[in-house]
Amino acid sequence: MTSLRIFRAAAGAALALVALAGPTWAQDRIFVRTEPGTPVVAVQVLVGVGSADEPEGQAGISYLAARAVTDPARGVLDSLGAHLDVDPQKDGVGFTLTAAPDAWAEATRVLMVALFRDPVDSAATVRQRSAIVRELGARESSPADALEREREKAVYGADHPWGRPAVGTPAAVGRIRVSQVDAFLRGQFTPERTVVAVVGPVSEDEVREVLAPHMPPGELRGDSVPPPAPAESAVHADYNSITTWVSATWRFGPDADVEALRMLAHLALDRVSFGPSRRSVYNSRAEVVQYAGGGEVRLTVVIPPREAEQWAGQLRQAVGDYADQALSPGVFNDRLRRYRGERLLELDLPEARAAQMARSALLGDRTATLVDFTRLTPQRLQDAAKGLEPPIVVFLGPGGDQGA
Amino acid sequence: MMLTAALALALAAAPDTSHARPPDAAQDAPAVTVHRQPALPTVALRLSIQADDPPGYAGAGHLFQHLLLPTLEDQVARVGGRVQAIRGSDAIVYTVVGPASELDYLAGILRSTLRAPATPAPGMLAALGALSGERAAERETAPQYVRAALRARLFPADLPAAGTDEAAARLASAPLDEVWSEIYRPDRVSIVAVGDVQLDAVRRAFRSLPPPASRGPAFLPEDTVPSFEADTPQATRGWIGSAWAATDADPAALSVTARLLRSYLRRRMTRSSVDVEHWWTHHGQALALVVATPDSLVPAARRTVDGALTTLAGNVDADAVRDAAASVRRDLLFLSRSPERMAELIGEFADRGAGGDGVQQFYAELGEVTEDDVRRVLESLGAADPAKVYVPPQRIPAAQRR
């Protein structure tokens, strides 16, 4: 009886959330979630431009352009007490603006003018190019970054635009000229490729009044991405470290049940994280990323080198077991109770909600849904696990395949 | 436009905040403040026990937190929530956050923190070890050391949260229920809830608190805090600390003054890192200035810090005060943008005795601070001698540099 009651409570909570999260489809690609009581306004401007749009030899220009074009605006934003973050993604660049209710409108205007109207500032571009080259250089010695590079190559293929880092490499970024950034901005950073999500104590009318001059109506425009060419067997990458990193990536298609896959990733992570029976796990991570046309479930562990092959098996099993057999209702409800809390807390900052809404909208979700665990069932979970493609496994560590 | 006008100052707008000690409640019912934030079906619950550690047992409150935290984390994880434990100068604080539908479950976890711990407590060695590490950290590195030393000068009764070595030795063998009885009483407990919950539901969830124990330790010795002068914290730059006691100052004006001073000094000291902080606990208020500067600039930096209040007084105008007040208000809003941070902010004010709407009043008062208010603060600060701390940069002897 207890678990049934909990399940009903979960469903009730989720329904309320979905109801709150349902802005109507906006022809002007603007999505608003009015939240009385939230103390700040979060604005997510997501420009659907990524690696696939970058010209040959200019890998990383999307991120450089994003940093360069916002650099001159930062002083004004600081004076307004607004916080701006730039987040490079494979298929887009996210600009997250968080500001007080009395400053958000002005801060948003400043950001939109910088993005779509201001000419590129050559000094800012040179400054940001140097900064990115330094940052990427420092990251080259990070095993987490090295794993990510190997993983992307394995999942999409070395020649695929998504098979390389979205931020580029130090060498490639260092070669990009100011004129190329200017041309890229004019050609690619356009309102037609952009969605904006606004969350906070603001009305829809107010948001549209601020954004309308910058966001002419029309359907979202985007380009297609070539099909991936994933590695056909496990990839072993040599890396000078005292630990081994093992990553398994399951791709999924456009019709996948993404909320069920998120729950699956949470459950799988529980089974490979440090614990009394898994004392050799130094770190573990799970994530679900979604792009137009599909996405990936990723599971990563950091373990001693000699245990690499064993852990690759455990990663496969951590997901595969949920495809083999549906959970019993009692166990499922217990797991759902936990997942529901973790998922809600992932969205506890207004900027996280704005980012989630913008991503959903970019992927064509006309209601920009935040979460959808209303009707999660054991069967949905199993079906989602069954629908995954076979995993692509990457080992990174001393000797590459030493642990195998 | 009306919506923004009405909601722009979410902290200042009282309608969504309710706080009450119910008239029909027993005297030992906790004070409850609820700030409704229906944006997500979550709730942050903050329980605080407003108490100093008993004499001779400095660090006791934080020790109990270390003893309880592993269990609390396991319990909260079952509903996908988070828990944190903070020992502040005003209170022992536990905060849990999770789905609003789990309100009763989360409240039960918090109520469990009020029960007297058993002796011997499981995990005692690990908890004492953690406290010992925190004590050492406070004196090892310059940023923490400067603040701790300034605080010790201005507020000697405000003992370190991690306690002292002597007190830790006593706690290792003390009957913990007796020590707890000196800390916990139901009327010292305050509850703040932020999220998609109603006042009545929160009151029900906390209607029954454990009774206080009847007997405390037979003898309460005095605490002895080791002097900071004997420590040699690590520093690669020169660290200069100055702090002025300001117990009678208007808190809003003091906060605005701190912001003005920070902005002014950051413009002048571009090669140094400058922090100006408003300290505010039930022990009193202070304005603390902490500067880290390269070795070659230390003499100039010390002169700038020494004359900081005077030079600021000559540069204050109404526009600067208005901008500084707006900046502090925006920071408050930004800080409180998640339910648990909002609960922490509301609770901190309540623990200082400002009541459940203290933060809202403070937010409103910030908007009314004038140039004259700031000048009055600067005059009162300047009239007293500041506490000063200096940590020189460590130099590698020339013979060892190769």
Q: What's the pLDDT tens digit per position in A318-327?
A: 999 999 999 9
A–B CB contacts, 8 A cutoff, strictly below = 130
**Quick check: helix, strand or coil at residue B302?**
helix
Residue A19 DSSP one-character state: H
Domain end, chosen from A214, A247, A271, is at A214
> At A395, is the pLDDT very low, low, confident or very high (cuts 50, 70, 90)?
very high
- pLDDT, residue B60, reads 95
Average pLDDT over chain B, rounded to whole? 89
Do A284 and A166 share a structural domain? no
The pLDDT confidence band at residue A170, using thresholds 50, 70 and 90, is: very high
Please indicate, yes or no, if residue A227 is contained in any of the structural domains. no
The pair of structure tokens assigned to B305 is 């810090």
A369 occurs within a structural domain: yes
Whole-number Å distance between alpha carbons of B11 and A40 = 10
Instruction: Locate the DSSP E strands across A35-89.
Output: 41-47, 83-89
Closest Cα partner for A20 from A42, A41, A31, A35?
Answer: A35
Cβ-Cβ contacts under 8 Å, A342 against chain B: 80
The closest alpha carbon to B56, from B151, B177, B164, B185, belongs to B164
Q: Which of A160, A184, A214 is the last residue of a domain?
A: A214
Instruction: Give the pLDDT confidence of B203-256 residue by residue, as tens digits.
Output: 999 998 998 877 777 777 887 777 777 778 889 999 999 999 998 999 999 999
Which of B18, B40, B345, B366 best probes binding to A when mutated, by most A CB atoms within 10 angstroms?
B40
Residue A14 lies in a domain: no
Q: What's the N-to-C CA distance of chain A in angstroms?
A: 47
Do residue A337 and residue B80 have CB atoms under 8 angstroms apart?
A: yes
Structural domains of chain B in order of their starting residue, each with its CATH number: 15-205 (3.30.830.10), 238-393 (3.30.830.10)
Q: Which residue of A has its CA nearest to B340?
A: A348
Tell me which DSSP letter residue A279 carries: T
Asked if A127 and A193 sit in the same domain, the reply is yes
Contacts of A206 in chain B (CB under 8 A): 1, 3-4
- Are B328 and B259 in contact, with CB atoms under 8 Å apart? yes
Closest CA to B301 of B237, B244, B380, B258: B237
- The domain in which residue A201 lies consists of 25-214
Best residue in B106, B194, B337 for a mutation probing chain A (most A CBs within 10 Å): B337
Which of A25 and B67 is assigned the larger pLDDT?
Answer: B67
Average pLDDT over residues B17-42: 75
Q: A208: which chain B residues are within 8 Å (Cβ-Cβ)?
A: none
Which residues from chain B sit within 8 angstroms of residue A14, using beta carbons? 41
Are A165 and A33 found together in one domain?
yes
A153 and A265 belong to one structural domain: no
Instruction: Give the whole-angstrom CA distance, residue A172 versus residue A327.
Output: 48
Tell me which residue in B4, B41, B80 faces A338 most closely, judged by beta carbons.
B80
Write B73-80 long-range contacts (CB < 8 A, 24+). Answer: B75/B109, B76/B106, B76/B109, B77/A338, B78/A337, B78/A338, B79/A337, B79/A338, B79/A340, B79/A341, B79/B105, B79/B106, B80/A337, B80/A338, B80/A339, B80/A340, B80/A341, B80/A342, B80/A343, B80/A344, B80/A345
Alpha carbons within 13 angstroms on the beta-carbon side of residue B148 total 25
For the ranges A3-12, A126-135, B24-33, the one whose mean pLDDT is highest:
A126-135
Q: So what's the pLDDT on residue B25?
A: 53
| Rounded distance between C-alpha atoms, residue B233 and residue B227, angstroms | 13
Confidence of residue A20 (pLDDT cuts 50, 70, 90): very low
Helix (H, G, I), strand (E, B) or coil at A212: helix
The per-residue DSSP string of B95-109 comes to EEEEEGGGHHHHHHH
List pLDDT tens digits, range A299-319. Answer: 999 999 889 999 999 999 999
Out of B10, B82, B326, closest to residue A39 by CB:
B10
Instruction: Tell me which of A214, A249, A269 is where a domain ends.
Output: A214
pTM summary value: 0.89
**Around B305, how many Cα atoms within 13 Å sit in the side-chain half-sphere?**
30
Residue A207: inside a domain: yes
Q: How many structural domains does chain A have? A: 2
* Chain B: residue whose CA lies nearest to A199: B39
Whether residues A267 and A353 share a domain: the answer is: yes
- Do A371 and A326 sit in the same domain of this protein? yes
Domain co-membership, A195 together with A291: no
Does the structure's ipTM exceed the value 0.90?
A: no
**pLDDT grade for A196, boundaries at 50, 70 and 90:** very high
A33 and A109 in a single domain? The answer is: yes
B114-128 residue pLDDT tens: 998 887 778 899 999
Looking at the structure, tell me whether residues A195 and A242 fall in a common domain: no
Grouping H, G, I as helix, E, B as strand and the rest as coil, residue B121 is: coil
**CATH number of the domain enclosing A99:** 3.30.830.10
Same domain membership, residue A117 and residue A67: yes
Nearest CA distance, A156 vs chain B (angstrom): 33
Looking at the fold, whether A196 and A305 belong to one and the same domain comes out as no
Q: How far does B4 lie from chain A, in Å, by closest CA?
A: 5
Helix (H, G, I), strand (E, B) or coil at A211: helix
Share of residues in chain B with pLDDT > 70 (%): 93
CA-based R_g, chain A, Å: 22
Backbone angles phi, psi at B95, to 5 degrees: -130, 130
Please judge whether B3 and A347 are an interchain contact, meaning their C-beta atoms are less than 8 angstroms apart. no
Tell me: do A180 and A89 sit in the same domain: yes
